[in-house]
A and B are shown apart, each in its own frame.
Chain A
Amino acid sequence: MSEKTVPTGPEADPEAGPWRPAGRRRPGGAPGRGTAVPARVRLAFAAGTLVAVVAVILVVPLVAGDAATRTVDYDAVLLPPGAGHLLGTDDAGRDVLVRAVLGARVSLVVAVTCAVVATLLGTLVGAVSGAVGGLTDAIVMRVVDGFNAVPHLLLGILIVALYRGSLISVVVSIALTHWTTVARIVRAEVLSLRSRPYVDAAISGGASRRTVLVRHLLPAVAPQSALAAALLLPHAVWHETALSFLGLGLPPHLPSLGTMVADSRDDVLLGAWWTIAAPAGVLVAVTLAVAGLAGWWRDRLVPRRRSELAL
């Protein structure tokens, strides 16, 4: 949470807050401020969770061995959490903890790849569109509108269905549906940067359009696109797990968190709650932690926005 607990539009005074009777006013500044969880605490929670998850992802495969996810043991089917298997086993006798950890690894790697690809594509398109302007800009923005009108998950399903079974098709389907937000942000930023004196100075100094773009505009929008990438991460995790949950995601030898949730649906009805608890818990923890970190960063960079996943 930012220092300002009152999210405001451009015309409102953030310090004043809404009017309220004096009797209800809290001591010490704006109403509600004294009771909000400090930004530092939330940051610590998010960072701590993420560090813990990454540490577990790095350590558990070392201890358990990479093959543990595929070790099927029909003598140990649906064991509840206990000594041998800390978080129990699934319907094929595989260790839920090891599988959840490896699933988180797969999901995170896919999500990071998607976010990076989408951000690169969006930054490139947005920067060129904003810098060139005119007809190009108009056309590019119509294309962006068009991409936004097609529901993301449907386009994802279509692409994965037609180019099934590979990591690349999943990455492409997520990147293709998520670059537009980055392109919008970068374009707006470039448009505002274009009228700065230092850009005028570069142009009157004889710099070519390309030089201005590469040397002067792109470095200036870099923080914004890095932030956009961070904000895309939870979306990408979410999107990948949703596709995998529907059976249209990663191939079976890459156990994603979404695949695990889908697999455990029937087991849960038999009472084996632990098969879904581990992947669901990791999924929610990772998403919230990444979103929390990204939100904290955004609040520092763009102090007016508050909602964390909404871009």
Chain B
Amino acid sequence: MGTLVEPPRVVQARVSATRTARGGRARTVRRLALARLAVAVPLLFAVSVVVFLLGAASPFDPVYQYYGTRIFTAAEADVARTREQLGLDEPIWRQYLDWAHGALTGDWGMSRSFGQPVADVVAERLPWTLLLAGTGLTLAVLIALTLGVVSAWRQGGWADRFVVTAAHALEGLPTFLLGLGAIAAFAVALPLLPAGGVADATGETGFGSTLRHLALPALVLAVSQLPWLILTLRQQLLVAFADDHVTAARARGLPERTVVLRHGLPAALLPFVTTVGTRLPELVTGVVLVEEVFSWPGVAGAMVRAGLNVDYPLLVALTLLATGAVLAGNLLADAAVLLIDPRTSPRR
């Protein structure tokens, strides 16, 4: 966009802003990351302790898990020996220390529902989840940016009314219904896309095949996250359009496109990015439901299977993994805000 007039820099004489401008952004981001790490480590520790205590207080006896139905015919002495071998007769703090030592050295225990080490289950399935979540989130952000700008720009117009009404209606539609509806519409009624999984029964795995299998789950995930993103962006844009610098841009006779995209949108983008960051737990929830509906072979689907089978080691690992992912995502969002905030940009 060739504009003769430079977009106005919002004058904010905040001390931190000037300091940032002088010291460079990298240092600010590094400091933020360190501060977050200082919170994240104790938090993950606390979560692991709480989860461990929850497990210790639960009526489930891991020995039953180990034996399955054979527990009814097993000899008492054998059961006692197994209990000892599994370390279940030791005090709870001792068990926790053992587990924590293993976790820190990469041994997360055995997943009973998959019959594999937990680390292998996660390593095998995490890429699929990252693919689904990444595609879904990217789609959601792109669609939200488009619809939010259109909706706020022509506030009260037919597009705006349609988008806002649809967003409110979607807020009430649970993700699993959305997924089942999508399958019914685009896989059963109109057989355009596969209804689940990541590969056809032929076992063919290519880029095109994966893309076809990814399309429906990623879209459903994106749509399930859309309402909040669109409504937030629209609201922030409306606030930004009423700002002085936007009025000033209009007074200078800049084209509407420049006013909206270069002057209004950047101001609204900061709270929008923060919203995306704070909604990451909801994204995880969405991924769990979407993976279940579409039989997607990711870690979130494994969480459900672990829950159904009381696969305690896997449950703990996945809960901690998700918590870590949310914290990392929050950090990324805040770092992004620091980087795109025009007020902290270095002087040219």
Q: Which residues of B contact A150 (CB under 8 A)?
A: 47, 281, 319, 322-323, 326
Tell me the total A-B contact number using a CB cutoff of 8 A: 182
Contact of B238 among A8, A36, A246, A283 (CB under 8 A): A8
* Chain A contact patch, size range: 35 or more
Contact of B58 among A13, A163, A248, A273 (CB under 8 A): A163
Mask: chain A, 36-63; 1 = CB below 8 Å from B; 0 = not? 1000000000000000000000000000
Q: Which residues of B contact A7 (CB under 8 A)?
A: 235, 238
**A101 part of interface (Cβ distance < 8 Å):** no
A261/B180 in contact, CB under 8 A: yes
Contact of B304 among A36, A246, A268, A306 (CB under 8 A): A246
Report if A261-B247 is in contact (Cβ < 8 Å); known contacts: A8-B239, A151-B326.
no
Report if A148-B281 is in contact (Cβ < 8 Å); known contacts: A12-B242, A158-B315.
yes
Q: Which residues of B contact A208 (CB under 8 A)?
A: none
A5/B156 in contact, CB under 8 A: yes
For residue A12, give the distance in angstroms from its CB to the closest CB of chain B.
4
A287/B172 in contact, CB under 8 A: yes
For residue B203, give the distance in angstroms from its CB to the closest CB of chain A.
23
**B221 part of interface (Cβ distance < 8 Å):** no
Complex Cα distance A168/B303, Å? 21
B180/A309 in contact, CB under 8 A: no
Report if A164-B310 is in contact (Cβ < 8 Å); known contacts: A18-B242, A151-B322, A154-B319.
yes
Chief secondary structure at chain B's binding surface: helix
**A194 part of interface (Cβ distance < 8 Å):** no
Complex Cα distance A209/B43, Å? 31
B171/A12 in contact, CB under 8 A: no
Contact of B307 among A12, A148, A160, A273 (CB under 8 A): A160
A257-311 residues at the B interface, CB under 8 angstroms = 258, 261, 265, 268-269, 273, 276, 280, 283-284, 287-288, 291, 306-310
Report if A276-B241 is in contact (Cβ < 8 Å); known contacts: A158-B51, A308-B171.
no
B310/A19 in contact, CB under 8 A: no
Complex Cα distance A261/B293, Å? 11
Mask: chain B, 304-348; 1 = CB below 8 Å from A; 0 = not? 101110101001001100110011001000000000000000000
Q: Which residues of B contact A223 (CB under 8 A)?
A: none
**A26 part of interface (Cβ distance < 8 Å):** yes
**A9 part of interface (Cβ distance < 8 Å):** yes
B304/A157 in contact, CB under 8 A: yes
Most chain A beta-carbon contacts within 10 A, residue among B174, B235, B238: B174
**B210 part of interface (Cβ distance < 8 Å):** no
Most chain A beta-carbon contacts within 10 A, residue among B46, B51, B228, B235: B235
For residue B228, give the distance in angstroms from its CB to the closest CB of chain A.
5
Contact of B174 among A146, A242, A273, A307 (CB under 8 A): A242
Complex Cα distance A245/B288, Å? 11
**B255 part of interface (Cβ distance < 8 Å):** no
Mask: chain B, 169-185; 1 = CB below 8 Å from A; 0 = not? 10111111100100010
**B289 part of interface (Cβ distance < 8 Å):** yes
**B94 part of interface (Cβ distance < 8 Å):** no
B285/A18 in contact, CB under 8 A: no
Most chain A beta-carbon contacts within 10 A, residue among B168, B241, B292, B327: B168
A/B interface sample: 13 pairs, CB < 8 A: A19-B241, A36-B161, A151-B288, A157-B303, A159-B54, A162-B54, A162-B58, A241-B174, A247-B308, A261-B177, A280-B177, A283-B174, A287-B173
Return the 4 tightest CB-CB contacts between A and B, nearest first: A32-B156, A162-B58, A18-B241, A288-B172
Additional pairs, 13, CB under 8 Å, beyond known A35-B156, A291-B172: A9-B236, A18-B155, A19-B242, A19-B247, A31-B155, A146-B46, A153-B288, A154-B319, A163-B58, A163-B59, A246-B304, A261-B177, A310-B232
